[in-house]
Chain A
Amino acid sequence: MAENTVVKKKKKSGPWREVWRRLNQNKAAMLGLLVMVILILAAIFADYVAPYGYDDQDLMRRFQTPNSQHWFGTDNFGRDIFSRIVYGAQVSLKVGLIAVGIAMFIGGALGAVAGFYGGKIDNFIMRFIDVLLAIPSILLAISIVAALGPELRNVMIAVGIGSIPSYGRIVRASVLSLRDQEFIEAARAVGADDTRLILKHIIPNSMAPLIVQATIGVANAILSAAGLGFIGLGIQPPLAEWGAMLNSGRQYIRDYPHLTAFPGLAIMITIFALNLLGDGLRDALDPRLKN
């Protein structure tokens, strides 16, 4: 009976529970989380949330200002802007998550191998990361899209590759600080091979900075993809993408500013929420950093 109580108490004070408790106390971070949950749900259930399809054109209803039928008005093809923003959330979140996934996977693997083995391997990988860092990420993304062609998959790849260096550096730094610790030596002593050491022991212990970077990374990826869309090198019509919506609305900005106002707001609110959540997670995962 007494043992059970002890076990229960231990479970309650796990490190992630403690992180959640600290995050829960941060109102700004919770606001960010709430906005992101709403956005994710809207993206998943876009077919039910959006009153119209993203490419439903009605030329008789072009350039309508916000009204009860079209909450955010209509664009130059008479398409419902609210519906396009909801479908645009699908695209933006997909780009953000997959681009960060690509960057985390490749950057994380490079960083882990570099930090774990050190020496020439580390030197070679870090010089490769220096090369990527020498090209401003938006320019790198632009040139990759220029080479591969402007479509959804290529935008994800382009934005993802541009973000590899930051994940590589974070994981390498974590691995360097972890690889000589006693629990790693203990695992090695009981026969764990390098792959197991990296995957089972080192990576899970490097998760805190990675999670923070990933949250802010999704924001940056959405912003980069929207930037590519804005200069006409991102996802192509008729798919709804916030940056491309801004680009097509800019020529009507004098008479119909709502065409640019709502997609811009959608981008800003998403990035704002992710930044709030990222800041909150950083404070929750490492309270020493909080000022």
Chain B
Amino acid sequence: MYKYILRRLVMLIPVMIGVSFIVFTMMYFTPGDPARIMLGESAPEVEVQRLRDELGLNDNFFVQYGRYVKNAVVHQDLGRSYITNRPVFDEIAARFPNTLKLAALGVLVAVLIGVPVGIISATRQYSLFDNASMVFALVGVSMPNFWQGLLLILLFSIQWALLPSSGFDTWKHMILPAVTLGTSSAAIITRMTRSSMLEVIRQDYIRTARAKGQKESVVINRHALKNALIPVITVIGLQFGYLLGGAVLTESIFGITGVGRLMVDAIKSRDMLLVQGGVLFIAVVFSIVNLGVDILYAYLDPRIKSQYK
């Protein structure tokens, strides 16, 4: 197992180098002079040139990229924001807890809806409940979450004045964003749980358990669920990673000060170093989450575990 984890960790290094290279290249070739953005349009050219020298912007592409990677790895230094002049890492770290909390709550909503609905749908295949839940799952996947967020604000904040429409301070503030973010994942988890359960409950060992006279609840909860949930856990983990990236839209709707909103604001003010740092940061977290999911999957599935013993 340790061999597997080590191998996956080593594989992460070239991927991270690739991500940093792609993101750095994109931002490097973005039109607009960072020194000019920092000093303003009316700054004299001499001043702009002096700042370019100071920031190392006159060095060639590879020297700049090498310096960026070295600073990021050795000093956790992703540069300074062109607008606020604060370290990019600090700006991101200050907002990341909100993004993480939002994604975690989104996943919680998705699991609380998706897993039980998927199990019931599978155990009552083609029933009214099954058909209705599959239609709702399809609607959930099809409904853009930014529109759903607006509808929830319209109903729960404006019409019924039950929940606040912006902010992220109390649990009341968190309900609408979590539901908005978690709905499409709930739909995906519902479909996955249902198909995984259907596959498992058709297997011979389930028939054997039933033939032995065990109660249906025991057959489902003790025998079927254990195996059916292995792929579902993978999907849940992947959804968590996906929601970390997808939180950008939800943060914009509900005015949540997270990494996504920080990046959108940074793009609008051409603060490209902040955008670059934000993408890199989320990519690192996303990859670590995916790695965690793979390790968990390998741990839960004895077939994979046995390969690395």
**A interface, CB within 8 angstroms of B:** 127-128, 130-132, 134-140, 142-147, 149, 219, 223, 226-227, 230-233, 243, 246, 250, 253-254, 257, 260, 263-264, 267-268, 271-272, 275-276, 279, 291
- Report whether A139 and B150 are in contact in the complex, using a CB–CB cutoff of 8 Å: no
> Which residues of chain A are within 8 angstroms of B249 by Cβ–Cβ distance?
138, 227, 230-231
| Contacting residue for B272 out of A145, A146, A271, CB 8 A | A146
- Known contacts A142-B267, A275-B142; A135 and B151 CB within 8 A of each other: no
> Given the complex of chains A and B, what is the CA–CA distance between A133 and B27 in angstroms?
19
Query: Chain B nearest CB: distance from A222 CB in Å?
Result: 9
Q: Which 7 pairs between the two chains have the least Cβ-Cβ distance?
A: A136-B245, A131-B18, A264-B147, A272-B142, A271-B142, A146-B267, A147-B30
Q: Is A142 a contact partner of B144 (Cβ separation < 8 A)?
A: no
Judge whether B144 and A272 touch: CB under 8 Å: no
| In contact, A231 and B248 (Cβ under 8 angstroms) | yes
A selection of 18 A-B contacts at a CB cut-off of 8 Å is: A131-B19, A134-B283, A134-B286, A136-B244, A136-B245, A136-B283, A147-B27, A149-B31, A226-B146, A231-B249, A233-B267, A246-B146, A246-B150, A250-B150, A260-B147, A260-B150, A267-B144, A272-B138
Q: Answer yes or no: B154 CB below 8 A from chain A CBs.
A: yes
Smallest CB separation, A34 vs chain B (Å) = 16
What 0/1 pattern do residues 228 to 269 of B give for CB contact below 8 A with A?
000000000000011011101100110000000001100110
Q: In the bound complex, what is the Cα–Cα distance between A187 and B35 (angstroms)?
A: 60
Would A146 and B30 count as touching, CB distance under 8 A?
yes
With both beta carbons as reference points, the residue of chain B lying nearest to A255 in the complex is identified as: B158
Q: Does B29 contact A (CB under 8 A)?
A: yes
Q: Which residues in B have some Cβ–Cβ distance to A below 8 Å?
A: 11, 14-16, 18-19, 22-23, 26-27, 29-31, 125, 138-139, 141-144, 146-147, 150-151, 153-154, 158, 194-195, 198, 241-242, 244-246, 248-249, 252-253, 263-264, 267-268, 272, 275-276, 278-279, 282-283, 286-287, 290
15 further contact pairs, Cβ within 8 A, besides A136-B241, A136-B244, A264-B144: A131-B18, A134-B15, A135-B279, A138-B248, A138-B249, A143-B275, A227-B144, A231-B249, A243-B144, A253-B150, A253-B158, A260-B147, A268-B144, A268-B147, A271-B141
**Contact: B144 with A135, CB < 8 Å?**
no
Contact of A223 among B144, B275, B278, B287 (CB under 8 A): B144
In the complex, residue of chain B having the shortest beta-carbon distance to the beta carbon of A139: B245
Q: A interface, by DSSP: helix, strand, loop or mixed?
A: helix
* A136→B286 contact, CB < 8 A: yes
Contact A143 B279, CB 8 Å, known A134-B286, A264-B151? yes
Taken together as a complex, chains A and B put the C-alpha atoms of A135 and B154 apart, in Å, by 33
Chain A residues near B151 (CB-CB < 8 A) = 260, 264
Residues in B with CB closer than 8 Å to A223 are: 144
- With a CB–CB cut-off of 8 A, which chain B residues contact A135? 19, 22-23, 245, 279, 282-283, 286
Alpha-carbon gap, A291 to B202, bound state (A)? 11
Q: With a CB–CB cut-off of 8 A, which chain A residues contact B198? A: 291
Query: When the two chains form their complex, are residues B287 and A267 in contact, meaning their CB atoms are under 8 A apart?
Result: no
* Contact status A138-B15, CB under 8 Å: no
A139 with B279: CB separation less than 8 A: yes
Given contacts A131-B22, A143-B23, A230-B249, contact A136 B142 (CB under 8 A): no
Residues of B within 8 A of A145 (CB): 267
Distance A142 CA – B274 CA, assembled complex (angstroms): 13
Say yes or no: A127 contacts B18, CB within 8 Å.
Answer: yes
Contacts of A264 in B (CB 8 A): 144, 147, 150-151
Closest to A260 in B: B150
Q: Which residues of the other chain, A, contact B15 by a CB distance below 8 angstroms?
A: 127, 130-131, 134
Q: Which of A128, A137, A253 contacts B154 (CB 8 A)?
A: A253
Smallest beta-carbon distance A123→chain B, Å: 10
Complex: A223 Cα to B143 Cα, angstroms = 9
Do residues B248 and A142 form an inter-chain contact, with CB atoms below 8 A?
Answer: yes
Given A134-B286, A142-B267; A147-B26 close (CB under 8 Å)? yes
